Structures are given as structure tokens and as C-alpha cells.
């Protein structure tokens, strides 16, 4: 049973560019959440997708957008990159039908460096 | 809003020492509480959880008890091993609400165990 997978593993971009990160949830999961983890900090919630719609959003600007596909996989897009966007981006998946467990499974993350 | 405050690190202990990492929280309602662990170069792994007051979560020799009266969820282990070296995050999820699984994390505590 494959867990949560993310691609790419590492990415280097220049200020002002745009980036797309990808996530495939664990088998049987239908909800994907994205988190940003700056160096030395705890993860910060960006947004969550369920049934191909953004259901919740954290305190992140509109430069951060996402998408969920019919197969439950998801993308995170960041436009007009800033140096401060450099971080580890984590994807987590869960299953709504069993949401009372509040158990989210995390992927290994994508390390984004903005120069 | 919700917040999690955890003991600042880094924490360095000798093998077989007793471990306590403090965690307190602020939340409305009755959140679920979690400890996640992040090994070097990896994503987050759920270590243990508790979903209501006085519940004790346990896994791999680690324990934490949900204390509503002190709004705390301290992590303990009686005898640590070198393999326990990692960063530990305390986190909470809001009270049950369909699909509301946003996690709020503390800043993390880096633990190093020396032989």
C-alpha cells in the first residue's frame, strides 16, 4: 500500500517565478491538505481540498492556489515567488468517511528553495 | 485562535534517560491532540494521539495524557534510545466538525540522544 507521495523532492526557483508541486494521497483517502514548514518551525496549514474544492484555507495570500483532481491527487501552485516562500511543503491525506479519527498521513515533502 | 506551545529545544539526553517534552495548548471547544515525529530527511509521522480529556495516547514506549484542566499534553518516555533522536511536534485539531481536520502545530523540539 503506497503512502502519500510528493514530487518533486527538491526544487530551486528564482524570485518572481511560478512553481507547481504535486501530491498523491494514500490509497483510500479522499482529502488532501497542504502545509508549509519553514526551517526550524512547525508546519503551517495552507489549505485543504475535498471533492475537488478548497474547503478550508489558512493565512496565506492568493499567490498560493491549489487543485484537486477526480483521482484525489492534488497540486499546489505558488505564483510570484518570494525568498520567504523557501520551505518544505508537506502534503497530508485523510479519509472523510473516517474523519473522526483525525488521522492525517504526511508525505516526505518537497523542499523549495527560492533564490 | 488555536495555538500550541511546546518546550523549546534542543534537548540532549543520554541513552536510557527519562524524557519529558512539555506541550500546552489554547483552543475553543474540545480539540484532539497529537504528537508527530520527524526523523532527519523525512516527513511527519503520527506518534500518538488522544481525542478527549483524560485519554492517554501511547506508542513505541512514548505516552501522553490529555489534561483538560491544565490544557496540556506532555510527551514522556521512560528510557530513550539513540533511535529516538528526531524533532517532535505537538499538534491539535479542532473539535469534531465534518471534515475539519486542520492541524495547528507547535514549533517543534529537537531531541538528541547520545550513547
- Geometric angle at alpha carbon A105, from B71 and A113, rounded to 5°: 95
Contact (CB<8Å) A100/B96: yes
DSSP state of B53: T
Q: Could you write out the DSSP letters of every residue in B38-97? A: E-TT--EEEEEEE-STT-EEEETTEEEE-BTTTTB--EEESS--GGG-EEEEEEEEPSP-
> How does pLDDT run across B21-49, given as a tens digit for each residue?
999 999 987 888 999 999 987 889 999 99
Instruction: Assess A10–B contact: CB distance below 8 Å, yes or no.
Output: no
The predicted structure's pLDDT at residue B40: 85
Choose, out of B1, B94, B101, the residue to mutate when testing the contact with A (most A CBs < 10 Å).
B101
User: What does DSSP say about strands B3-6 and B23-26: parallel, antiparallel, or unpaired?
Assistant: antiparallel
The predicted structure's pLDDT at residue A83: 97
Would you state the cell numbers that stand for residue A17, as one nine-digit string?
517565478
The predicted structure's pLDDT at residue B9: 83
The predicted structure's pLDDT at residue B102: 85
Report the Cα A98 to chain-centroid distance in Å: 21
Instruction: Assess B31–A contact: CB distance below 8 Å, yes or no.
Output: no
Instruction: Assess B23–A contact: CB distance below 8 Å, yes or no.
Output: no
The predicted structure's pLDDT at residue B89: 97
Q: Is 90 exceeded by the pLDDT of residue A94?
A: no
Choose, out of A2, A31, A43, the residue to mutate when testing the contact with B (most B CBs < 10 Å).
A43
How far, in Å, are A37, B2, B29, B92 from residue A45 at the CA level?
A: 9, 12, 20, 12
B53 C-beta neighbours (distance < 10 Å), count: 12
pLDDT mean over A60-78: 97
Contact (CB<8Å) B93/A56: no
> How does pLDDT run across A7-54, given as a tens digit for each residue?
999 999 999 999 999 999 999 889 999 999 999 899 999 999 999 999
Residue B85 has, within 13 A of its CA and on its CB side, a CA count of 12
State the average pLDDT for chain B.
91
> How does pLDDT run across B98-114, given as a tens digit for each residue?
445 789 999 999 999 99
> How does pLDDT run across A71-82, given as a tens digit for each residue?
999 999 999 999
Q: Which residues of B20-48 are buried (b: 16+ CB within 10 A; e: fewer)?
A: ebebbbebeeebbbbbbbbeeeebbebbb
Amino acid at each position: 500500500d503506497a503512502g502519500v507521495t510528493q514530487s518533486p523532492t527538491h526544487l530551486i526557483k528564482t524570485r518572481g517565478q511560478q512553481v507547481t508541486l504535486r501530491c498523491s494521497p494514500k490509497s483510500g483517502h479522499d482529502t488532501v491538505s497542504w502545509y508549509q514548514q519553514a526551517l526550524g518551525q512547525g508546519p503551517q496549514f495552507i489549505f485543504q481540498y475535498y471533492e475537488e474544492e478548497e474547503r478550508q484555507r489558512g493565512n496565506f495570500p492568493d499567490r498560493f492556489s491549489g487543485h484537486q483532481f477526480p483521482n484525489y491527487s492534488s497540486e499546489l501552485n505558488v505564483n510570484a515567488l518570494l525568498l520567504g516562500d523557501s520551505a518544505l511543503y508537506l502534503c497530508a491525506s485523510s479519509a472523510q468517511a473516517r474523519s473522526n479519527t483525525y488521522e492525517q498521513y504526511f508525505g516526505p515533502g518537497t523542499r523549495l528553495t527560492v533564490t | 485562535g488555536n495555538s500550541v506551545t511546546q518546550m523549546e529545544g534542543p534537548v540532549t539526553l543520554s541513552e536510557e534517560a527519562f524524557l519529558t517534552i512539555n506541550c500546552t495548548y489554547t483552543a475553543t471547544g474540545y480539540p484532539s491532540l497529537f504528537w508527530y515525529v520527524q526523523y532527519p530527511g523525512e516527513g511527519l509521522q503520527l506518534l500518538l494521539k488522544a481525542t478527549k480529556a483524560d485519554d492517554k495516547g501511547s506508542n513505541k514506549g512514548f505516552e501522553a495524557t490529555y489534561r483538560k484542566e491544565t490544557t496540556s499534553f506532555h510527551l514522556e518516555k521512560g528510557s530513550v534510545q539513540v533511535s529516538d533522536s528526531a524533532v517532535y511536534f505537538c499538534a491539535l485539531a479542532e473539535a469534531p466538525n465534518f471534515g475539519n481536520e486542520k492541524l495547528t502545530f507547535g514549533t517543534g523540539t529537537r531531541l538528541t540522544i547520545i550513547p
